[in-house]
A and B are shown apart, each in its own frame.
Chain A
Amino acid sequence: MSQAASIRSRAEGLANALPPLMAEAEHLAATVMLGAHGRRRAGMGDEFWQYRPAMPGDEARSIDWRRSARSDGHFVREKEWQAAQAVSLWVDDAQSMDFSSDKNLPTKSERANLLAMAAAILLVRGGERVGMAQLGPPRSGELQLIRIAGALTPGSDRPDFGVPVVRGMQSHSRALFLSDFLGDFAPFSAQMTKAADRGVKGAIVQILDPQEEEFPFRGRTIFQSMGRSISHETLKASELRDRYLHRLAERKDALSDLAKRTGWSFHCHHTSATAQSALLWIYGALGRSN
């Protein structure tokens, strides 16, 4: 195959993935009603907030003459501050996210991408700025959506388990982390702390496959991570179940605890459940902290 043809076919494959992702995410986003994004105080914005008496220092052009004509004083028309929020997305692209226990279930990665994209669409429609670590500062607009969709396409040379990237997050911005959080907890915890230090708040969504919740294994088994870098052999998988489930519950507790301490929200989502419920939770979580 010539090089041009190979590039072309790869490009098409790449391009093919985007519109469905966009469309699906838009479809998902359309199911959520957009709410008000006002800051509940006067500031830059489009919406009327209040009239206040003009004070020394106010520029003459800021005086609302129509309102002032009705009375003796001078009034200034203030608008609600509608400064857009910046939301950073982090979607775990590690190999562990490629797992799906059943061919009818989406992989965790697919579900995470879908949720991230849908959240991005919602946010952009709401006028927020959305960004990802690798895309630079958050921006708004349709073009940013396309960029995000591109960035969600998995690259090569991925690690087994991912760690969120806090670098580049603006302070006091918002963040949405989507991952299975099955990897080492310490780096994650450090990153979270770093983020909390910057005043970044947000939501953590743990996406798990049903099999990871149930551990329905028995017999002699060698468990391997998706990248095959980690393996664990047991002679009797059924014996491990209880302890595994215990550890999983511990991990969830730790995540939840960490989130509580740093002012984040935590949600655990299963790929067997509908994406819509998770999106609603995300929408609420990001809105709640307004």
Chain B
Amino acid sequence: MFTLLGIAFTTPWLLLGLVALPILWILLRAVPPAPIRRLFPGVALLLGLQDDESHTDKTPWWLLLIRTLAIAAIIIGFAGPVLNPKDTSPATGPLLILTDASWASARDWPQRIGRIEAALAEAGRTARPVALISLSELPAGGLPFQTADTWRSRLPGFQPHPWAPDPGALQEWAGGLEGTFDTFWFSDGLARDGRLKMLASLEARGNVKVFESPRPVFGLRPARFEDGTIRLTAVRARTEAQDVQEIRAFGLDPAGIERELVTARAEFDAGSGLSEVELSVPAELRNRISRFAIRGVRSAGAISLTDDSLKRREVALISAGDAREALELLSPTHYLEQALQPTADLIDGTLHDILLANPDAIILADVATLSPAEAEAITTWVDDGGLLVRFAGPRLAASDVSRDTEDILMPVRLRAGGRRVGGAMSWGEPKSLRRFQETSPFFGLTIPDDVRVSAQVMAQPDPNLSGRVIASLTDGTPLVTRKNLGQGQVVLFHVTANADWSTLPLSGLFVQMLERLAISTRPARPDAADLAGTIWVPTDLLDAFGEVQDAGTMAGIAGEELVAGQISAQLPPGLYAGEDRRLALNVIGAEDALGPVVWPVGTRVEGMNVARETLLKGFLLCAALAFLAIDLLASLWLSGRLSGRQGLSVASVFVVALMVAPRADAQSDEFALNATSEVVLAYIITGDSKVDDTSLAGLRGLSDALFARTSIEPAEPMAINLETDELSFFPMLYWPVTPEQPLPSLEAYVRLNRYLRTGGMIVFDTRDANIARFGTSSPNGRKLQKLARPLDIPPLEPIPNDHVLTRTFYLLQDFPGRFLSRDVWVQAAPPDAELLEGMPFRNLNDNVTPVVIGGNDWAGAWAVGRTGNMLFPVGRGVAGERQREIAYRFGVNLVMHVLTGNYKSDQVHVPALLERLGQ
């Protein structure tokens, strides 16, 4: 292929024709234009006059230039120019297409697929076997070489994954490659371990070409909550330029609709791959944030799901010991406050006020008796999902609460008095804690050695006691018991909340236990030990594009894996729900950084853009045609044939032809504006100009009547072309039926049906009620049947006497137009509509009838000319004028019916309503 200035030619020898252009120039100059014949009486005076020069008016140079350009464009066009020609040095042998298909590829996935498709197409042309491998989902076994067409058909199902390729598996896989093949590697541009080794093992098999997108890769680390602010860290792979990204926080608004709640700007300095953002957000808003996202980056890496770590629970502390004047350290709630302060919002106040605030948890520290009202209120709150935590103490031990029968707000029955061990007056040693059972929420927590319990309240042995114990002492006596109540829980610590009875509140275990009970919030990400023995079930999963999707019925994940595990197919990023809390697993970890791949020197790296071959032939031939058109006009003008009015009209034809296309939009805009600025009645164009004029005049007359008599003030009626015009602007279409009108196209029927279903009304008028009855007895009737067959028309019936059309504005029983036939059909009332006692009308269907079918030539009766004169006679004399008046009234009722629906039907109930209101 001959290439010139980046343009190749399929038949370059045709370009030799360009040599002929100068000759053409000379020829064109020599040949005079064709003469015009003119009748001119003065010719007698011309006889004998000789032309001064032997040749004609010189063709002006610019006309010659236009012609030469046209010819040149034709020659070049037929020479087959191709822009961006592919260098088709045919490669042979198998081709391996690798793609990282990770979350970082998701942002420009369509381009990648497009480039892969181009590569496949090229391979298909040269019949190379191809294997297409996604590195994040390695196939088992060898390379699946198949024809390119097979792969192309599977390409649409090829999706990126929200995890990165596993370096270990990759290395193993790359080691197992056999045979020779060329490789196209579609890299996501992120540095990863083992990339270079992989490259080396691929290069050992054949040529490797790497494709990388120049688009920057961004990531968002999980949000942290520190010192009352949310801290976000955005990371990026390329650090050269300065950049600003907008980070948006999404969450549910009070109405339960997901919205953008907060936005922040992450500014990257040049040379820096990190950008810290601080967000100070009110607690209410913060608790609602469900995820952060970098604006405009469609990738799972740019999404950071939030879990409970951002949320601060509201905990109410209520103790009975307020009256006691004592040291702060002896206060029943001191240790609780210390433990909860950093991670929860504490609420003070009376129990009633607190319940109004609907806290997540209420802690009652040694509160024995509650008033019945309080007890009832708390029970309701717990039923709705509240967590009530009670601590024992001297008061509880001394009270009769839950002694004989189990109190509803206590998990167990208590023995009187409680017990003390290891004191000065008692036998035995203070007890330590027994290892937590697997069923316990505390399972996995390590128990410090120095936790000792010296006093406790004792549970009555009950059949269900063992199921309610979630922590016990070494001697088996319960330390913490729990029961479910409705959707909530009641938890009882059998010791005090201060250090009076045990050293538990002094230990770190106390804080961990509160965390596990979801009373407090975990301050930072839990480690494996924290989550040992827990199972987490995914609820929402992120796909590679950063879309949150329902997890379906995925199996649960062990807590240790969740914390430690790398994100993979087994552990996809998303939200995992454990007992009482949720944990977010994001693509970018808290410490992850991104970096660009540094390919070794000599690797062929290309961008994603496919420089498509563009055939320029069409453009050039169009240009030639345009030149010839200009030449035509110019020649006409030069030879004097394009002068005066005739010339103007020719020129205007050209100009109009050039301007037709852009005007279509403006026209449809204008149409929409005209149709929607006011109420506009519309009629269907039948093609019969007489009928159409009558329709227009009729609707104009009806519009005038509406304007004069009602609050509907319609604008000038419009004509509707079913094939091109939008119908939804019009409340009502008047459709006169002529036997000659063409059937609308299928698309037009689709739009008509949509119009009918969405509340539009079509008035069919066969205009032949003077000679025919409803049915197929006339050509118009038969045409109507044909027209209406594809329409979605409900069962019909003649207008019943109590139809709302009979009273939407005027009280009517006849619906005449120019003709007086009772055959006017509307949508049938439902069969179960019955006449109630004392009601003048049946309680009829609630919607507007989609069609009114009749033959009374209503438009003819309504028709007025521009000057307001009636166009057609109706009946004779006074009776005829009366009939015209009734026809107008029917029109008014019709439009009222369309615009107000069954409002008048509902008016039936007004007396009853007034009676009820006591008027």
Chain A residues engaging chain B, CB cutoff 8 angstroms: 96-97, 99, 108, 161, 180, 182-184, 209, 211-212, 215, 217-226, 228, 230-240, 243-244, 247-248, 251
Contact = CB atoms under 8 A, between A and B. Distances in A.
A251 B37 contact: no
A247 B51 CA distance: 15
Given A226-B41, A238-B57, A239-B51, A232 B35 contact: no
Nearest to A247: B45
A247 B48 CA distance: 11
Nearest to A235: B56
18 contacts: A99-B39, A180-B41, A182-B41, A212-B41, A217-B640, A218-B638, A219-B36, A222-B38, A223-B43, A224-B38, A225-B41, A225-B43, A226-B39, A230-B47, A233-B35, A236-B53, A239-B53, A248-B45
Contacts of A247: 45-46, 49
Contact of B39 (A180, A225, A235): A225
B916 interface: no
Interface string B35-76: 111111111111101011111110000000000000000000
B42 A220 contact: no
Contacts of A211: 40
Given A217-B40, A235-B32, 18 more contacts: A108-B41, A183-B44, A212-B41, A217-B640, A219-B33, A219-B638, A221-B37, A222-B35, A222-B36, A223-B42, A232-B46, A234-B46, A234-B49, A235-B53, A235-B54, A236-B52, A236-B56, A244-B49
B39 A224 contact: yes
B474 interface: no
Interface centre among A108, A222, A231, A235 (most CB of B within 10 A): A235
B280 interface: no
Contacts of B33: 219-220
B338 interface: no
Contacts of B41: 96-97, 99, 108, 161, 180, 182, 209, 212, 225-226
A271 B376 CA distance: 115
Contact of A217 (B38, B44, B56, B638): B38
A234 B51 contact: yes
A57 to B, nearest CB: 60
Nearest to A240: B49
B40 A224 contact: yes
A220 B57 contact: yes
A245 B803 CA distance: 87
B640 A222 contact: no
Nearest to B34: A220
B36 to A, nearest CB: 5
A235 B53 CA distance: 8
Interface centre among A97, A223, A232, A233 (most CB of B within 10 A): A223
A251 B33 CA distance: 32
B57 A236 contact: yes
A224 B36 CA distance: 10
A251 B43 contact: no
A107 to B, nearest CB: 10
Given A235-B55, A243-B49, A220 B38 contact: no
B32 to A, nearest CB: 5
B434 to A, nearest CB: 118
B487 interface: no
A218 B640 CA distance: 6
Contact of B44 (A161, A220, A221): A161
Contacts of B35: 219-222, 233
A184 to B, nearest CB: 7
A218 B39 contact: no
A240 B36 contact: no
A185 to B, nearest CB: 9
A232 B640 contact: no
Contacts of B45: 182, 244, 247-248, 251
A15 B886 CA distance: 56
Nearest to B56: A235
Interface centre among A224, A226, A237 (most CB of B within 10 A): A237
B43 A224 contact: yes
A227 to B, nearest CB: 9
B43 A232 contact: yes
A251 B44 CA distance: 11
Contact of A230 (B36, B38, B44, B638): B44
Nearest to B41: A96
A244 B40 CA distance: 12
Contacts of B399: none
Given A219-B33, A220-B33, A220-B56, A240 B38 contact: no
A220 B43 contact: no
Nearest to A180: B41
Contacts of B638: 218-219
Contacts of A161: 41, 44
Nearest to B58: A236
A223 B46 CA distance: 9
A232 B49 contact: yes
Nearest to A243: B49
A236 B56 CA distance: 6
B639 interface: yes
Interface centre among B33, B38, B41, B57 (most CB of A within 10 A): B41
The 6 closest A-B pairs by CB, nearest first: A96-B41, A219-B639, A220-B35, A235-B56, A223-B43, A247-B45
Contacts of B55: 235
B177 to A, nearest CB: 79
Contacts of B51: 234-236, 239-240
Contacts of B57: 218-220, 235-236, 238
Nearest to A99: B41
A160 to B, nearest CB: 8
A274 B37 CA distance: 30
Interface centre among A209, A222, A224, A232 (most CB of B within 10 A): A232
A182 B56 contact: no
Nearest to B43: A223
B631 to A, nearest CB: 15
Interface string B188-217: 000000000000000000000000000000
Nearest to A218: B640
Given A161-B44, A238-B57, A221 B49 contact: no
Contact of A248 (B32, B42, B52): B42
A214 B57 CA distance: 20
A231 B48 CA distance: 11
A183 to B, nearest CB: 6
A214 to B, nearest CB: 10
Interface string B77-107: 0000000000000000000000000000000
A248 B42 CA distance: 9
B37 A222 contact: yes
A239 B54 CA distance: 12
A234 B208 CA distance: 76
Contact of A182 (B32, B42, B639, B640): B42
A231 B41 CA distance: 10
Given A235-B55, A235-B57, A238-B57, A215 B38 contact: no
Contacts of A228: 39
Contacts of A235: 32, 51, 53-57
A258 to B, nearest CB: 17
Contacts of B43: 223-225, 230-232
Contacts of B36: 219-222
A180 B38 CA distance: 18
A243 B49 CA distance: 8
Nearest to A225: B43
A111 to B, nearest CB: 13
B59 to A, nearest CB: 11
Contact of B42 (A215, A238, A239): A215
B175 to A, nearest CB: 85
B327 to A, nearest CB: 120
A280 B234 CA distance: 101
B32 A244 contact: no
A182 B35 CA distance: 24
A234 B55 CA distance: 10
